[in-house]
């Protein structure tokens, strides 16, 4: 059984979205591979933290996790089918709750998987879950009673690093999920041939396959990508479901994103801020540029590089790359520094707002 996701992030189940995000950022910065020299144990911890936030950081996924527990994190999970199963169990008497969810008693998810594929309705599953009808979650995809059934949608998280999301990429992803046995169509047996040898009469198989996916530039955290007909197979020659990918963008050690702009804070000495200097750096798009820091730059002065931020989903102009200067002051003040500061202050005129004034 997987660890409780709230425990992984170190928050209570009643934690707010901001508290969850704050806890995630703190842990992600601590265990980020770029800060841990790719230590394998810490890299695994980072993956565990990211997986927990993928669920708890998404209000819809968090709600399902609170209701169904671990089952809600499985690829291809369908909440409507899960609720149908829960109602069936309750109708047979006794309380019910999912592993990790809310309720009066814990029940294994294995029986639920059988329920999805019809095994709980007698005859080795020959009735088929599609026979229940009544809409997309039950295999009909909203196409009307009697029409060819549609396969279930598969849901999977796709973790991208920050620059990958900004620049776009083509990835090969691995899909692993439980589905109808393609040999017997989920019935567990072939006509006149006894139990299906491919699935041992279970009606389901673990499906493993890979798929190449193109990630467009500017993919945002939480964005969902739907890939048509790459989901679960359908019975009776129906249309396969879709693959729905939820993108999770990992934090960068020093870049952050605001809408289509990419931000970075760069420290600078008092001398360089006063005299001006040149700054060489690589933009988020991978281009090395040189910038002029003008003489007399102040704390918070921003240098803007147009068109080197995030590309819009509608192919509109990209945002900007914004460099904010942070004047680094010495931590230890010597008499010489104090005198230099006094001399610097002689040529500075302060205009305080309202009735404010400095007092000795």
Q: Does domain 152-250 have CATH number 2.60.260.20?
A: yes
pLDDT at 76 (0 to 100): 62
pLDDT reported for residue 54: 87
Question: Comparing 152-250 with 256-346, is the CATH topology the same?
Answer: yes
Most confident among 43-47, 198-202, 236-240 (mean pLDDT): 43-47
The answer, yes or no, to whether residue 238 has pLDDT greater than 90, is no
| Cα separation, 39 vs 31, whole angstroms | 9
Q: How much is the pLDDT for 313?
A: 64
Ranges of each domain in the chain: 152-250, 256-346
Residues with Cβ < 8 Å from 218, sequence gap 6 or more? 165, 166, 168, 260, 310, 311, 312, 313, 318
**Top mean-pLDDT range of 80-84, 89-93, 323-327, 339-343:** 323-327
The CATH label, of 3.40.50.970, 2.60.260.20, 3.40.50.300, 3.30.499.10, for the domain at 256-346 is 2.60.260.20
Mean pLDDT check: name the lowest of 20-29, 215-224, 308-317, 333-342.
308-317
User: Model confidence over 151-202: pLDDT tens digits?
Assistant: 788 899 999 999 999 999 999 999 888 787 877 777 777 666 678 888 878 7
Distance CA 51, CA 58 (A): 11
Contacts of 201 by beta carbon, 8 Å cutoff, 6+ apart: 124, 188, 189, 195
Give residue-wise pLDDT tens across range 297-344.
999 999 999 989 998 766 667 899 999 999 999 889 899 989 988 888
CA–CA dist 201, 189 (Å, integer):
6
Residue 135, by phi and psi: left (phi above 0), alpha (psi -120 to 50) or beta? left
pTM: 0.55
Assign 125 a pLDDT band (cuts: 50, 70, 90). very low
What mean pLDDT do residues 191-218 have?
A: 83
Asked whether 171 and 181 are in contact (CB, 8 A), the reply is no
């Amino acid at each position: 059984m997987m660890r409780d996701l709230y425990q992984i992030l170190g928050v209570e189940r009643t934690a707010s979205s901001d508290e969850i995000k704050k806890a995630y950022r703190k842990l992600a910065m601590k265990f980020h591979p770029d800060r841990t020299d790719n230590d394998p144990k810490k890299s695994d911890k980072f993956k565990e933290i990211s997986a927990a936030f993928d669920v708890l950081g998404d209000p819809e996924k968090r709600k399902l996790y609170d209701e169904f527990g671990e089952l809600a994190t499985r690829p291809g999970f369908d909440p409507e089918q899960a609720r149908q199963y829960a109602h069936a169990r309750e109708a047979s008497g006794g309380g019910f709750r999912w592993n990790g969810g809310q309720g009066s008693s814990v029940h294994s998810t294995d029986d639920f998987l059988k329920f999805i594929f019809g095994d709980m309705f007698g005859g080795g599953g020959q009735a088929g879950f599609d026979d229940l009808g009544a809409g997309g979650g039950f295999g009909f995809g909203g196409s009307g009673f009697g029409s060819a059934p549609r396969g279930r949608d598969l849901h999977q998280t796709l973790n991208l690093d920050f620059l990958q999301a900004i620049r776009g990429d083509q990835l090969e992803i691995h899909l692993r999920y439980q589905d109808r046995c393609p040999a017997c169509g989920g019935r567990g047996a072939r006509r006149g041939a006894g139990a299906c040898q491919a699935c041992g009469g279970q009606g389901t198989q673990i499906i493993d396959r890979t798929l190449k996916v193109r990630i467009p530039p500017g993919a945002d955290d939480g964005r969902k990508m739907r890939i048509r007909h790459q989901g679960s197979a359908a019975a009776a020659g129906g249309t396969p479901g879709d693959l729905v990918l939820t993108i999770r963008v990992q934090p960068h050690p020093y870049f952050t994103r605001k809408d289509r702009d990419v931000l970075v804070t760069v420290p600078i000495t008092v001398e360089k801020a006063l005299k001006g200097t040149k700054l060489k750096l690589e933009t988020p798009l991978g281009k090395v540029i040189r910038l002029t820091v003008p003489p007399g730059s102040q704390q918070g002065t921003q240098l803007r590089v147009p068109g080197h931020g995030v590309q819009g989903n509608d192919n509109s102009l990209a945002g900007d790359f914004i460099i904010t200067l942070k004047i680094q002051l010495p931590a230890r003040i010597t008499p010489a520094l104090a005198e230099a500061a006094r001399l610097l202050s002689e040529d500075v005129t302060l205009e305080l707002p309202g009735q404010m004034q400095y007092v000795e």
